[in-house]
Every structure is written in structure tokens, then in C-alpha cells.
Structure 1
Amino acid sequence: MTDDIIRQREELADQIKALNAMKVMAESYGFDISQPANNAREAVQWLYFGYLAAIKTQNGAAMSVGRVSTFLDIYIERDLKEGTLTEEEAQELIDHLVMKLRMVKFARIPSYNQLFSGDPVWATLEVAGFGMDGRHMVTKNDYRFLHTLENMGPSPEPNLTVLYTEKLPLNFRKYAAKISVDTSSIQYENDDVMRPVWGDDYSICCCVSATQTGKEMQFFGARANLAKALLYAMNGGIDCKTGMQVGPRLPKITSEYLNYDELMANYDIVLEWLADLYVNVLNLIQYMHDRYYYEAAEMALIDTDVRRTFATGIAGFSHVVDSLSAVKYAKVKPIRNENGIAVDFEVEGDFPRYGNDDDRADKIAVWLLRTFLTKLKKRHTYRNSEATTSILTITSNVVYGKATGSLPDGRKAGEPLSPGANPSYGAEKSGLLASLNSVAKLPYEYALDGISNTQTISPDALGHSEEERVKNLVQVMDGYFNQGAHHLNVNVFGTEKLIDAMEHPEKPEYANFTIRVSGYAVKFIDLTREQQLDVISRTCHKAM
């Protein structure tokens, strides 16, 4: 009777209680879910009861739905053939399910909105994908889920995700692209890079992270600010904003100009310290969460012997890449305060920036991702979970930026960090395709939790008619994902629309104005003013 067996027995007992509680909950609505669903209506209802049980028994966290379209399509197709359901009624079933997912609300503290603005639920729901047997998995139901955005208008929830590959039927790719052009509500993830890792029956949990459906779970772990860590490497572990010794005690860099090799040696020490601290803190959090708030209802609906991933993340990614590039290829002079702490920088000369398809900068990006993951994987993780990472900030890039001083890449103290794996604001000088090419060089194997890339394209840059825009967007995504890129948020609007929505949120056309941000979709007018300004400051590509 080992510790693991004792814990498993206790958790299984809690799961059985949760399953019985689900039956009681469903009975209160007049349904008996102890029996299998007999038709499409019951299949949709039973599925929602499982989701409802999960959100009733946990509060405030992301609660994804999964890849359910094909499963439900089996019931719907059978009922259509038997004449017990019409096509109009089938669409209505999906509309009603989506309507329920749009209504989910959590009781959250006000500070939550500073990190994850707009009150996201992350009811992430996937469509499409490709089978291991060589068949695409697009069904009528995949069209129905996308069609809800036309029937009921744009909405952040559910977080609709297309598992994308060029091998999907062209008509489906064009329809998804049309919905993106019209609503900016869909994210795309590369099925060709995820399928070899997760198989063809996987779902997206939280924002962009794949997991085998019913067989795995993810310990979520937010992100580490690697840009702030770079400043610790320069300043002997002292925080330039507080003056406190936070990082490891190491010699300050005191030279007039930063030396690349000296900085890299210090940065390596700081990253080792940060990886150790990060994993240890997450181990404490996950242990205590299981002990005091075990999510029995969710765990009851997946396998007993579950595989666990230990999610981590990176913030400030592009700023570190560009800052290291500046030190390597230009001359960077720190401006120090009276205590010898670097608080600003002067840069002499040009340097390559991430986001322009320049291998000099992009190789630094790959190095940074690989190096931090390697350091994370050396640490013990809770319940023998597999350490993984992501380049994903959600809207917390604003809060992280407030805590981060000026950097050698030109970003000033307190300004927002660039979101996810996006290049830094203003760094992209070579158009959309060059930016996409840079991000596509980041290997998915180093960031199995996801590499979030959010791009905004002016409608005129995509084309001068809807047909042309749809055609061009499909071609852009085919080319991007064929390079091995993992993720893409597609926004199709101009900066002028964002500014007008910020200044005139009362206009009817902005009531449901939805945009994609790093990891989810949100109603623009629900963002804080600070986060709206951050979105407005991002690159809006006016050329391909």
C-alpha cells in the first residue's frame, strides 16, 4: 500500500461521488444521465451536463470543451437519416449548445481582469483535423459550429479552433477563412505538427495546448518573465525597479558597453536560478491545489491512469531576442543610476530584429526557447509530470511590462511586453509574410504547450473583394503552416476601427466587436483602456 495507491484510491472515491452528484444535478433538470443518450438532442444535452458539472465545481480557471464535433455528428447523421431530425433542427442544436457556452460566468476578483482582461472562459472547442489513417475529419458539424458565428454574430466564446492542414477540403478552408475575415473570432493550430505527438484524437486545453482527449491533463503554470531575467543578468541579480536583491548574487556588468559573451554567461546563471525557482513554486501550487481543491468532476470523466504535463511559459520573448541581437551586432551602452544599476540603454548602430525573416535574429530566438526548456526539464516536477513550455502571454503582457525596466531593444520601462511569440512592436519592417516566416522557425517540439502568434491584417492588404481576401488568407495559412508553424490568431480590420471602438464603445456595431488576442478571443470594448491601447499599438500589416 504505497503513497501513490493510497492517493489514487482517495481520488477515485472523490470521483465516484462527483459522478453521483452529476446524476443528481441532471435529475434536477428532469434528465436521467445514468443511461446512454438515445438521440442527437440527448447527446448534446448529456455533453453539456458534463461541462456544466465541471464549471460548477471549479471557479475561475479555464474550462475547455474539446473536440466534440465529430462525436456529435454521429448522432446527428443517424437522426437525419431516420427522419427524426431536420437539418434546420440540427443547426439549432449546435446553436443552442454554443449559446450555453457563451453564457458561462465565473466569480472572479477584480485583479484577475488585469491579467486576463475581458473575463475569458476558454471554452475552447475544436473542429476539423486529419486522421492517422489519411482521412480528413471534417463533418457537417464542423461547418455548423463555424456557422454559429453567422447565425448569432461574433463572440469570444466558445474559443473556436480550427485544427488546420493544407490537406483539409478546400471548401472548408475557404469557409473558415471567410468566417475569420468577417468576424476575427477563430484561431488556427497546425494539425500536421500536433498529430505526430498527440495522435488524431486530441483536444486543445485552455488556450492553445494540445492534450490527448480523456487520457491526459495539464498542470497550468502561467509564465516566467525572461526579459526581466535579462536585466538581472546585467545588474547582479538586483531589480532595477525596486533596488532589491531578487536574483542570484553575481558580479554586475560594469563595462561601458555590454559584452555579448559576458552577458550570456551571466544570463545562463540567471536562467538556471529562474528555472529552479519557477518549477519549485509550481510544484507547491499544484500540490496544494490537489490537496485542498481536487477537481473530482473533471477527473471523473477521463482515464484513471492519466498522463500529466507540467505547463510553463515564457513572457518577454521577442524583447530578449532583440536585446541580445543588439548587444551582439551593435554597440549597447547602459545608462546607470547612482547605484550602478542599468536603467536605460543607448544603442549605436543597427541590428537584426526578430520578425523580419533574418536568421541572425531568428537563431537567437530558437536558442532562447531551447535553452529555457532544457533547464526546466532538469527539475523534478509534481507527480512525475512532463515539463513543457509555451510562448503565450494572454493579455498579461501589460502587467508583466509594468514590472520590467527598459531593455536594449528600445522598449522603455513600464511599456507592455510583446504578446506571445509575436515580434516586438514596430520591429516588423518587412511585411506579414516575413513576420510569419520568423515565427515559423520556432520548433514546436520545444514548446508543446503552444507558440501563440497573433496577427492583424488590414482588409485591403488581403484583397479588394471578399473572394480575393478569402483566397489570399487560405494561401497565407497554407504557406505558414507548411513551414511547421504551430498557431495563428487572425484579425482582419484596421487600426482606425480599434480607435473608433475605444472612443465610441456605445456604437451598436461595437457591441459584439470581437478580436483575437494571445490565446483567446475577447470583446474589444470589454478590455481595460490600458489593454485597448496596447492592442492599438500592435502592428497592423498593410502589406503582405
Structure 2
Amino acid sequence: MNIDLDVTENIFTEAWNGFAGTEWKGSINVRDFIQNNYTPYEGDESFLSTATEATTKLWEKVMEGVRIENSTHAPVDFDNDIATTITAHAPGYIHQDLERIVGLQTEKPLKRALFPFGGINMIESSFEAYNRKLDPNFKYLFTDIRKTHNQGVFDVYSPEMMRCRKSGVLTGLPDGYGRGRIIGDYRRVALYGIRYLIRERELQFADLQGKLEKGIQLEQVIRQREELAEQRRALKQIQEMAAKYGFDISRPAQNAQEAIQWLYFGYLAAVKSQNGGAMSLGRTSTFLDVYIERDLKNGVINEQEAQQLIDHFIMKIRMVRFLRTPEFDTLFSGDPIWATEVIGGMGLDGRTLVTKNSYRYLNTLETMGPSPEPNLTILWSERLPKAFKAYAANLSIATSSLQYENDDLMRPDFDSDDYAIACCVSPMVVGKQMQFFGARANLAKTLLYCINGGVDEKLKIQVGPKVPAMTDEVLDYDKVMASLDSFMDWLAVQYITALNVIHYMHDKYSYEAALMALHDRDVVRTMACGIAGLSVAADSLAAIKYAKVRPIRDENGLAIDFAIDGEYPQFGNNDHRVDDIACDLVERFMKKIQKLPTYRDAEPTQSILTITSNVVYGQKTGNTPDGRRAGTPFGPGANPMHGRDRKGAVASVNLGGETAVQIRKRRYFLYLLYRPWGVRQRRVYP
């Protein structure tokens, strides 16, 4: 949509001075701006600067708080009676005189805010865990006066869904906290300014007037108008929040410092208003390089000052905190926010998207030391500049802090070179797509249900459909597969229904207005389903098929253990006999998911990823027919079970069989875990 603002005004011409291209000026198109203005860089890291004294002092101040967190396993501090919003807190600083990029979630470094709109229960549990007392008026407000996402979900859940949740056959559902997995295009704040973005929303709001009056798609149009109004309000609040720090972000950024600061205010608004399981940053380094290159050429800054700006920006991302329960931290293996920033990759036109600023982002691992956040992710291509590949590889050896994903697969899949990663593996085109987070369905546990007639092996209650339990002395593969197929039908229905409820209620009671204000009006939505326990289920079925598996039953006839007679092929060794079973399970479950209606017509996707929660899934699952003991962690994601891969990493990657060729055309993910001594401790040269 063309924006009816006069872009020849001084605020635009001064900000855009020297920038090429016209399409991006008349309507929002950040990619077009980047393609017309960025400078690919194929050199090495020799231009990089070390940390400034200000950076070192600021980071040491931050580390004082981090050391308290690490020693106490508790937050430094958190609010007691303030419901966080974009504008709820006074400005916060580490050391105002030293900071070039400013802004904190609350008024103090590392102090955590309260996010009650997702649900009061997690807040109350956090207070109990850390021996604090929640203000009773605050609890009353978000229990009896203002309904929350969590309350809405549990009002609608069926008893069957509740049992699935309790048993762990569905685990990690975002029904009590922010769902995350939405990446605002924070670059828009810097490039256009808030005034431009507000005007776009006003025009889009007015554009729906005709449909509203004619009653066309009435409920959808009413909801969309309300959401656009909320987004406009959020944009005004972002401007108000920035004004507290002394900045007028109604206009576009005029230099590199402002571009970084404006962009960060957009992200800061997101993490002030939402506590999603993953609050990713997006794809910002190449965009910001355009501003830095202009300032360097004009003598506004030097290289050390450029690095300092990036250091202070990344420092702020490292400081983002959410108040979580210990149980949440266990599920996600720590205290992550998954502030993923993708770096590098190739353009559709064949040019590399690596810039000098790609190096500066990675250099923060040197200037401030290694850190899990932001989740710096290299978009790997065979055609990346050799010097950049060598630099990234050497940093990986030195810091173990980089993630790699395959740009050569995702770029053509999306037909875009402007996609980013939500959380750790979920790709989406920035500002044009969003994802409904869906947690995981436990296939290993589902297999036990089909053997035990739907009775949970741990809770000893009926969770799945009530059918006769299998009574064979030796399990029959065909019978087990037929029963499993039926139980997967049931699981798919429970899973998608729960997700539909969750995301309806999240939109209703905890809508991400600040993030969605930085998207196109009409976005593509995906429903991010997932599988846990794939290798356990595949190995169990292989054992049933190729060996003899005898159930060991308790006094009530419930199979609580299994005796295996003979050998069976194990997943992760490039053996098509078991790999085909795994591929069939993935395809089979996905087809069942795809048949079901989804909220807002979201397109189902599927990941095989449990890198952060395989321990919890294992704790929820009893003994399995592959010989795995109750409580033993699952192999994460699409990885083999621990100790069963005997042919090395390449065999783990190369699924055998023709079915696997089709599987690899979809988006499934394998995490490779190496011991430190498995990586050569030597420098990589281009």
C-alpha cells in the first residue's frame, strides 16, 4: 500500500540522503532498501576493532548482576505489583554517561517484569519459588477483573486435553505464558519512523470500511480492524517510550547510532510487552551496515566507534530477562529467550549478504566474551566468502556460541533472501510471516498407549481412547502399527484442537500488538507442530519388527516393561530398515495434522526438535520396547538415542531409503552434538 506522506519533507530527505532506490520510499519494503544500498564484503576480519573502555566498564557492571544470578539461581530482582507494558516503567540505564545505545525492560539492569496477560499462575509460582509474596491486589486484578490468556484456554479445554497435558503426551504447550515465535520487522522503525508506520495502519484501517459496512467477512473484518487499532496504539506507545529516553522516533533515523537505537526501541517494546518462549531479533546486521557504511564514508564515526555501537546494542539483547518458574527453565534447559539473529546467507541475485557488520556482530563474542544470547546464527551457503566461513569456524572453535543453518535450502524454499529464524529452527520471511508455536507431541508415549489400550503407563489413568489392551505374549508388528495409526489419529485431533484454543485465546487476551505492528497487514500464518521421541518410537517399532519383544505386565495387565530377544536395527546408522519406519511416522503424523482445520487457516508445519526438552519428555515416559528405561532422556530432535549411533555423524545425517529422500524436501531438523575433543582445536584458514 502506498503511503500518502510527502517523502520530500526534510525529515525524510535528510534521513535518506545518499540512499538509492525509490520503491521502498513509497511503501514499506525493507528488502528493496537493502538490495539497493548494502555493500557486500568478501574480505577478512583484519579491519575489526577491540572493545572500548566504555564497553568494558559497562559489561563488567552487567556481569556483576549475572554473577549474582548464577550464584543464587534466582533473579537479581523483579517487580511486585506492576503489570508490564511498553510504557509501564521509567527509563533504565546501566551507566547513562557511558551508553551509546540505551533502554532496559524495567528501570534497573536485569530486574524482571511481570507479564500477567498470559496468565497469573506462572507469576504466582515464580514468587513462591523465589520466596517472595505477590501483591494480593495484583493477583485479584488478574484473577477476577481482567481475564488472562491462561484462563481463557482452560475455560475451553476438554477433559481429554487436560489429561493429555497432565500425562505429557502433549508437553510444553504455550497455555500459561507468551507463545513467542513472532519476529517483528524492527528495521522498519529505523527506516521509516513511527509517523510513517502509523499512517500505513490508518490507511489500512480505513481500507476495510467498505467491507465492514457491507457485512463482508464480518467477524474477520471486525477483528482485523480492532487489531489494526491496537497496533496503531502500540506504535504510539513505542514513540512515547522512546521519548522518555530523549529520542524522537516519529521520524526516520538519520545516522548509524539512531538507526541502531530506533531498531532497538522496536525490539525493546516487544520484550517489554511479551514474554514469549522465543523473542527473536530477526535479520538486522546487513540492514544496519548500510547506515554504518554511510557514516564511515562521511567521517561521522570510525571503526572503533562502529564496533562500540554494535557492542552496546548486543549488550542490551544479552540483558533481556523474563520471570520464569524453575519448571519452565527445566523444560527449556536454562533461562533462554532465543533472541535469534541470522547473519550472512546469499542473495537471490547471487551476491553475498555478508557485510562488515556481519563481522561486527560476531566480534561481540570477542569484545564481550561468549554468550548464549543473542542466538547468533550463520546462514550457511557453499558460496559464502571463504574468509567469512573461516572466521565463523574459528569463532565456533573458540567460543561454542554460534549456530548454523542451511541457507541453500531455505532461500529457494521461501524464494526470499530476507527470511529469519524464530527460536532456533523456525524460518519465516521477516514482516510477512508469523508462526503459532505448537510445542511437541510425544510419539514414544503414544506407542505405549496403543499397547496399553490408552492407559498411561506412569499415571495409571485412561488418557487415550479406551480400547482393549494388547495381550499377545510377543508383540506383533502389524497389529501394533494398526493400533498406533489409530492412536495417532486421536493424538492429532487433541493436538490441533488444543493449539487452536491456545492461539485463539492468545490473540484475544495477550495480543502481540507491538510485534504485529511491524508486519504487513495480511500475514502468512503457520502452525508449528512438532514431534518428540522419534528415535525412541522408531527403534521400538524396529525391535518389534526385527526382534521379539515380550511385554512384562503388572497385576492389572498394564505393560510396564519389555524383554527383547534378538537384535534390531537402530536409528541413526544409515539403515533403511529403521530409517524408513522413522520417515513413515513423520509423514503419517503430518498427513493427519494437515487434514484438520486450523485457527486462522494457519498452514501446519512440523519440526523434529527437542534439543531443550528431551530430558523432560523422558521423565514423562515409561519403559519403551526399544529397551530404553523409564525416565531416560530422549535423543534430542531427530538424533539417535544416546549411544546407539555407531557409524558416525554422517550416518546420522543420511537417513536411508527412498522415503527419506522425500522427507528431506520438508523442514525437519537434526542437531549434531559433539564432545569438545571431537572438534579439532586448530585455526581454520580461508
Into which bin does the TM-score normalised by the smaller protein fall? 0.7 to 0.9
The equivalences for 1:48-447 within 5 A come to 48-198=264-414, 199-438=416-655, 441=660
Q: Cα offset for 1:346?
A: 1.1
Q: Cα offset for 1:29?
A: 0.3
1:34-88, Cα deviation, whole Å (9 max, x unpaired): 1001111111001100000000111253110001111011111111111111111
1:542 corresponds in structure 2 to none
Q: What is the identity, as a one-letter code, of the residue corresponding to 1:318?
A: S
Structure 1 range deviating more: 350-359 or 208-217: 350-359
**Is residue 454 of structure 1 aligned with residue 672 of structure 2?**
yes
1:183-234, Cα deviation, whole Å (9 max, x unpaired): 1111111111111222211010122100010001111011111110010111
1:466 corresponds in structure 2 to 682
2:125 corresponds in structure 1 to none
Q: Cα offset for 1:408?
A: 1.4
Aligned length: 467
1:22 corresponds in structure 2 to 238
DSSP 3-state at the match of 2:560: strand
Return the alpha-carbon distance in structure 1 between the equivalents of residues 510 and 656 of structure 2: 38
DSSP 3-state at the match of 1:401: helix
Return the alpha-carbon distance in structure 2 between the equivalents of residues 420 and 256 of structure 1: 32
1:407-451, Cα deviation, whole Å (9 max, x unpaired): 111211112112111110111111222223349957666753x51
DSSP 3-state at the match of 1:454: coil
Return the alpha-carbon distance in structure 2 between the equivalents of residues 137 and 444 of structure 1: 29
Asked if the contact 1:227/1:404 (under 8 Å) is kept, the reply is: yes
Unaligned runs of 5+ in 1: 475-544
Q: What is the identity, as a one-letter code, of the residue corresponding to 2:384?
A: L
* Residues 1:457 and 1:434: Cα distance change in structure 2 (over 3 Å): farther
Asked if the contact 2:450/2:487 (under 8 Å) is kept, the reply is: yes
DSSP 3-state at the match of 2:484: helix
Asked if the contact 1:366/1:442 (under 8 Å) is kept, the reply is: no
1:291-331, Cα deviation, whole Å (9 max, x unpaired): 11111011101111111001111111110111111111111
Return the alpha-carbon distance in structure 2 between the equivalents of residues 192 and 14 of structure 1: 38
* Residues 1:39 and 1:442: Cα distance change in structure 2 (over 3 Å): farther
Q: What is the identity, as a one-letter code, of the residue corresponding to 1:258?
A: L
Asked if the contact 2:345/2:381 (under 8 Å) is kept, the reply is: yes
Asked if the contact 1:355/1:439 (under 8 Å) is kept, the reply is: no
Q: What is the identity, as a one-letter code, of the residue corresponding to 2:650?
A: L
Asked if the contact 2:583/2:663 (under 8 Å) is kept, the reply is: no
* Residues 1:439 and 1:69: Cα distance change in structure 2 (over 3 Å): farther
Q: What is the identity, as a one-letter code, of the residue corresponding to 1:163?
A: L
DSSP 3-state at the match of 1:354: coil
Asked if the contact 1:15/1:300 (under 8 Å) is kept, the reply is: yes
DSSP 3-state at the match of 1:154: coil
Structure 1 range deviating more: 318-327 or 249-258: 249-258
Return the alpha-carbon distance in structure 1 between the equivalents of residues 649 and 669 of structure 2: 17
**Is residue 13 of structure 1 aligned with residue 229 of structure 2?**
yes
Return the alpha-carbon distance in structure 2 between the equivalents of residues 433 and 388 of structure 1: 26
* Residues 1:442 and 1:57: Cα distance change in structure 2 (over 3 Å): farther
Return the alpha-carbon distance in structure 2 between the equivalents of residues 94 and 337 of structure 1: 61
Unaligned runs of 5+ in 2: 1-214
Structure 1 range deviating more: 40-49 or 165-174: 165-174
Greater C-alpha Rg: 2
Asked if the contact 1:287/1:382 (under 8 Å) is kept, the reply is: yes
RMSD of the alignment, in Å?
1.7
Return the alpha-carbon distance in structure 1 between the equivalents of residues 451 and 331 of structure 2: 27
Q: What is the identity, as a one-letter code, of the residue corresponding to 1:456?
A: Y
Return the alpha-carbon distance in structure 1 between the equivalents of residues 304 and 661 of structure 2: 44
Asked if the contact 1:439/1:453 (under 8 Å) is kept, the reply is: no
Return the alpha-carbon distance in structure 1 between the equivalents of residues 663 and 375 of structure 2: 21
2:248 corresponds in structure 1 to 32
Return the alpha-carbon distance in structure 1 between the equivalents of residues 679 and 323 of structure 2: 40
Return the alpha-carbon distance in structure 2 between the equivalents of residues 319 and 375 of structure 1: 20
* Residues 1:446 and 1:235: Cα distance change in structure 2 (over 3 Å): farther
1:100-139, Cα deviation, whole Å (9 max, x unpaired): 1100011223321121132101110010111111222111
- Matched residues, percent identical? 58
Return the alpha-carbon distance in structure 2 between the equivalents of residues 295 and 362 of structure 1: 40
Asked if the contact 1:325/1:364 (under 8 Å) is kept, the reply is: yes
Q: What is the identity, as a one-letter code, of the residue corresponding to 2:402?
A: I
DSSP 3-state at the match of 1:389: strand
Asked if the contact 1:216/1:306 (under 8 Å) is kept, the reply is: yes
Asked if the contact 2:533/2:634 (under 8 Å) is kept, the reply is: yes
Asked if the contact 2:551/2:563 (under 8 Å) is kept, the reply is: yes
Return the alpha-carbon distance in structure 1 between the equivalents of residues 273 and 330 of structure 2: 24
Structure 1 range deviating more: 45-54 or 407-416: 407-416
* Residues 1:455 and 1:117: Cα distance change in structure 2 (over 3 Å): closer
Structure 1 range deviating more: 276-285 or 424-433: 424-433
Structure 1 range deviating more: 215-224 or 439-448: 439-448
* Residues 1:442 and 1:103: Cα distance change in structure 2 (over 3 Å): farther
Return the alpha-carbon distance in structure 2 between the equivalents of residues 443 and 181 of structure 1: 34
The equivalences for 1:490-501 within 5 A come to none
Asked if the contact 1:130/1:137 (under 8 Å) is kept, the reply is: yes
Return the alpha-carbon distance in structure 2 between the equivalents of residues 348 and 274 of structure 1: 30
Q: What is the identity, as a one-letter code, of the residue corresponding to 2:511?
A: Y
Asked if the contact 1:60/1:107 (under 8 Å) is kept, the reply is: no
Asked if the contact 1:400/1:416 (under 8 Å) is kept, the reply is: yes
Q: Cα offset for 1:375?
A: 0.8
* Residues 1:279 and 1:177: Cα distance change in structure 2 (over 3 Å): same
Return the alpha-carbon distance in structure 2 between the equivalents of residues 190 and 363 of structure 1: 24
1:495 corresponds in structure 2 to none
Return the alpha-carbon distance in structure 1 between the equivalents of residues 642 and 516 of structure 2: 41
Asked if the contact 1:129/1:136 (under 8 Å) is kept, the reply is: yes
